[in-house]
Amino acid sequence: MISVLPSNDTSATAFRSEVFPELHRDNLRTLQVNLGYRCNQSCAHCHVNAGPTRLEMMDPQTMALIPKVLDQYQLECLDLTGGAPELHPGFKDLVIQASCLGVEVIDRCNLTILTEPGQENLAAFLAKHRVTVVASLPCYEAENVDQQRGKGVFERSLIGLRQLNQLGYGKNDEQLILNLIFNPQGPQLPPPQAQLEEAYRKELKQRYGIEFTRLFTIANMPIQRFATQLTMSGQRESYQQLLEGAHNPDNLKTVMCRSLISVNWQGQLFDCDFNQQLSLHLKGPVQHLRDLLDVEIQWPGQPITVGPHCFGCTAGNGSSCGGALQSEGEVG
């Protein structure tokens, strides 16, 4: 059975020209956890509506379940997001516990958090525990970054990047990975990832002396804050049509939901971070982190809840938390 967004959902589009294909899960390797919606920024494209006034935050009892789930299912990766996940008071303890299990820890970092009061030692902590940093930097031009993420964000992001570079991130140490994220300013698909990465590498090095490991290109999802912008500008339907028209079925093989489970700040389970924001829960009886400890789930073959927004992951070169799903030479 194919699941679509309910007609009364404010994030659903007003038309149904296409229905997204059925998807089933492969082996589970990543637990992606949203620790809360509090953030020191309020970005225009943010699909979780995060910001400084948000109070939602995972409680200690729920957080204590995470290392147990990682261990029981022998997962390879803990992907921490928010908001700004570093603002959670239990962030560092969770990183240490996961690292001790031999799990790769990813910190989805907005870079400006590294210069916030009280976070002066954060970069050194990340380096000490070999945390993979995935950092938002939607352009190498200050004006474009500040327009999308807030005034002064670009300069503060450069400060954060230099801190990470000085610690060895993005250089020759294979354990200190610094990946950057690009997402478009408006309702367009990202350009080819390899081509843009080359431009980023050249411009950031020449202009600012910044180095990084990889660049990920990610499409903006037509949900939450970005969906509101599209509606206000009268571009909601045309953007959805763009995503559907660019659907590449080859990308279905590698979409992130096939190997990832998303956890919200309350411990509830979803197929991906976008489904989480649309309250499209995991199918079946397993609905919370604690449920995963009560029964051993066989993940391959489990159905994935899909909807019109999923075309954002399969359009063009594809889009995931790890960037494009294909190189530009493979699309056709």
Mean pLDDT of 127-146: 90
Please name the residues in contact with 44: beta carbons below 8 A apart, sequence gap of 6 or more.
Answer: 147, 148, 149, 225, 226, 229
Topology (CATH) of 30-220+257-299: TIM Barrel (3.20.20)
> Is the separation of the CB atoms in 112 and 41 below 8 Å?
yes
Return the C-alpha torsion angle 292, 296, 300, 306, nearest 10. Answer: -30
Q: Is 96's pLDDT higher than 80?
A: yes
d(CA 80, CA 86): 9
Query: If you compute the radius of gyration of the chain from its CA atoms, what whole number of angstroms results?
Result: 19
3-state class of 77 per DSSP?
A: strand
Q: How confident is the model at residue 23 (pLDDT cuts 50, 70, 90)?
A: very high
Question: Which residues are bridge partners to 281 per DSSP?
Answer: 270
> Is the separation of the CB atoms in 230 and 222 below 8 Å?
yes
Q: Is 93's pLDDT higher than 60?
A: yes
d(CA 192, CA 203): 17
> Is the separation of the CB atoms in 190 and 328 below 8 Å?
no
Question: Which residues are bridge partners to 256 per DSSP?
Answer: none
Question: pLDDT value at position 38?
Answer: 87
Domain parsing of the chain, residue ranges: 30-220+257-299
Which pair of structure tokens corresponds to residue 14?
Answer: 């007003």
Q: How confident is the model at residue 126 (pLDDT cuts 50, 70, 90)?
A: very high
